[in-house]
């Protein structure tokens, strides 16, 4: 997350998501010059951002916490980029920088595109390695296997990759990015087209998930992670702030149960901070919410209510096991407790 332009531009000019400029990969063989190595890289993420949240979920499920350290930025960014103002003295304690932009500039001065999260930074040099949010989690699943925890799930199983890719492509176009195209539309017809696409895809997903617990196969995969990070934000910000208000997630029996099932699965809900989510969208996007007022709702109590999705079968972690407790210092406030 982190499109070009100032915060006040949102909703006033045509929305176009920037591609990832830095697409180097961290791989087992180090073919891009960045080998998988425990302790070498730092993941910079915002708990407000759905794109960064993919990496937070993947890192937890795969047990990479000890291998890839985590920096969480302030949900309120300014036009200088994401800030480390949650840390003492406003500096990341490992990288020693105040703004994520500094790691970008250490890699390439005057680089094109914005400063986005998730970002993987090389700790020894302080340089950005990649901001390729589409590839990062796939590499966590496939290139970092030597550092996975015992019992880690296979989030991108080889025999299902074609189907996973196909499902993820539709989810990305119509849901993950579709809510942004609706919310940042500067013309009525563009908004209506994007909003209609969001709900067509959600209705398709609801039909697909009516008789199966997960999107592809009988275990959690990358496809579920990518859909979850949008669904968990839907009623809190996309329904009102982005005008995707034909109906609420909580009004679709299937998708609401599916989202609660994942939220209650270790590795998903324990990475979500609704306070960060709500404050970021409503206070940063001044072009569409000039007052900066953050709504009190929605009521979060329903997130921990029974979902009954286990009746459909499926095994969340396949032959593996759930991740252990959240590492000390990475806990988020307990939210959604009845």
**233-241 contact pairs (CB < 8 A, 24+):** 233/50, 233/277, 233/281, 234/179, 235/298, 236/274, 236/277, 236/278, 236/298, 237/277, 237/278, 237/281, 237/282, 238/179, 238/183, 240/295, 241/183, 241/281, 241/282, 241/285, 241/288, 241/289
Directed axis angle between helix 188-209 and helix 253-263, to 10°? 80
Beta bridge partners of 83: 99
Radius of gyration of the chain measured on its C-alpha atoms: 19
CA distance 255 to 247: 12
State yes or no: is 244 an active-site residue. Answer: no
Neighbours of 210 (CB within 10 A): 13
Catalytic choice (41, 180, 238, 281)? 180
Known catalytic membership, residue 49? yes
DSSP state of 224: H
Of 49, 156, 214, 244, the active-site residue reads 49
Catalytic residues: 49, 180
């Amino acid at each position: 997350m982190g499109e070009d332009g100032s915060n006040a531009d949102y909703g006033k000019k045509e929305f176009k998501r920037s591609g990832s400029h830095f697409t180097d990969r961290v791989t087992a063989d180090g073919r891009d010059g960045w080998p998988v190595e425990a302790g070498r890289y730092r993941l910079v993420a915002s708990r407000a951002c759905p794109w960064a949240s993919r990496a937070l979920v993947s890192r937890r499920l795969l047990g990479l916490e000890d291998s890839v350290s985590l920096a969480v930025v302030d949900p309120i960014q300014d036009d200088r980029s994401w800030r480390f103002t949650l840390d003492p003295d406003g500096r990341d304690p490992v990288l020693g920088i105040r703004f994520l932009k500094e790691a970008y500039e250490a890699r390439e001065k005057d680089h094109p595109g914005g400063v986005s999260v998730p970002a993987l930074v090389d700790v020894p040099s302080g340089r950005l390695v990649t901001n390729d949010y589409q590839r990062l989690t796939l590499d966590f699943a496939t290139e970092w296997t030597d550092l996975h925890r015992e019992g880690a799930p296979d989030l991108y199983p080889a025999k299902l990759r074609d189907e996973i890719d196909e499902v993820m492509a539709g989810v990305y176009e119509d849901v993950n990015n579709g809510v942004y195209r609706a919310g940042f539309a500067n013309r009525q017809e563009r908004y209506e087209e994007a909003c209609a696409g969001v709900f067509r895809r959600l209705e398709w997903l609801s039909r697909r998930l009516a008789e199966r617990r997960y999107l592809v196969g009988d275990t959690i995969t990358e496809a579920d992670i990518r859909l979850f990070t949008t669904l968990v934000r839907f009623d809190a910000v996309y329904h009102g702030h982005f005008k995707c208000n034909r109906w609420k997630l909580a009004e679709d029996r299937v998708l609401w149960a599916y989202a609660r099932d994942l939220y209650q699965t270790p590795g998903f809900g324990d990475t979500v901070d609704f306070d960060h989510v709500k404050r970021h969208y409503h206070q940063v996007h001044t072009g569409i919410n000039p007052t900066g007022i953050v709504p009190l709702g929605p009521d979060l109590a329903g997130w921990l209510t029974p979902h009954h999705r286990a009746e459909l079968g499926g095994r969340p972690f396949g032959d593996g096991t759930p991740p252990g407790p959240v590492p000390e210092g990475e806990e988020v406030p307990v939210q959604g407790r009845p």
